[in-house]
Amino acid sequence: MELTNSTAVTVIFAVAGEKYTIEVALKKPMTPLNNLEYHRIYYKINAKYAYLIVDGIMKQIDINYRYDIPIQVNKDNTPFYLGGSPYNMFSGYRGIIRRLKINGELIDLTNIVNKMTSPSGVYPGIFSSCLLSPNPCNFGICVEFFNYYLCQCDTSPYYGKNCENEVGAVFDRPSSSLTYYFSTSNRVIEFFVSVAFRTTKNGLLYLLQGSDLNIFFSLDIYQNNLRLSLNFWPQRTKVANTYM
């Protein structure tokens, strides 16, 4: 069984001298297999058929087996290699494997690793860089890699490597306000604004207004809803309020 690319798992096996191949390929919009999330694989073979399930997607093939004796797996007590092969038959695996079951028996991988006497690049347990400290990304999102992590600060009121730098402000009364002036050299044909906030009150979030007070763009909380109001044409009727 091999993870052949970011969207496919392939199983190659032989029964009574005949070679078989099963491949499950995930299609968009399904999540790719190399996205650092956990994925589940189930494989079954008997005298009539074999099937492979990857994240709920199944592929089944028939087995051409004409003998009365049951199919025996590993009948000559050959090793079961996990994550790679010493003969370089397949590409090595780098990641985490957990909850391995064979014929319903849960295999204790941690115990097997602890009994190894020579270094193999395999470590017991499930190491998490995001658990090195209680809150490594300061309320941002911690993205796990194999021996490090990166912080996504979009959901946090901070920015920086660990979302450690403050970029927000507290407005403690209805009369509070801040003014920001755009650069006069900033000429754009599109305009994007994003903002995160936390409050229990209605009120104005932001207002963009020209020298003509009839030209404006505003976003406020009105009757517990977000309200967007705008008017860019002074000689035209104001666009009706839009509630979000």
Looking at the fold, whether 138 and 121 belong to one and the same domain comes out as: no
The predicted model scores a pTM of: 0.54
* pLDDT, greater one: 238 or 123: 123
- Which structural domain range is residue 39 located in? 2-71
With pLDDT > 90 as the criterion, what percentage of the chain qualifies? 16
Q: Is residue 80 part of a domain?
A: no
- Mean per-residue pLDDT for 13-27? 88
Q: Is residue 22 part of a domain?
A: yes
Q: Is residue 114 part of a domain?
A: yes
Q: Is residue 82 part of a domain?
A: no
With pLDDT > 70 as the criterion, what percentage of the chain qualifies? 85
- Mean per-residue pLDDT for 103-118? 87
Q: Is residue 81 part of a domain?
A: no
Rounded Cα–Cα distance for residues 226 and 219 (Å): 7
Residue 186 has a pLDDT of 60
Q: Residue 237 above 70 pLDDT?
A: no
Domain total in the chain:
4
Residue 127 has a pLDDT of 66
Q: Is residue 131 part of a domain?
A: yes
- 62 falls in which pLDDT band (50, 70, 90)? very high
Looking at the fold, whether 6 and 66 belong to one and the same domain comes out as: yes
Looking at the fold, whether 199 and 234 belong to one and the same domain comes out as: yes
Rounded Cα–Cα distance for residues 84 and 169 (Å): 52
Q: Is residue 152 part of a domain?
A: yes
* CATH classification at residue 159: 2.10.25.10
Q: Residue 82 above 80 pLDDT?
A: yes
Residue 242 has a pLDDT of 52
Looking at the fold, whether 104 and 160 belong to one and the same domain comes out as: no
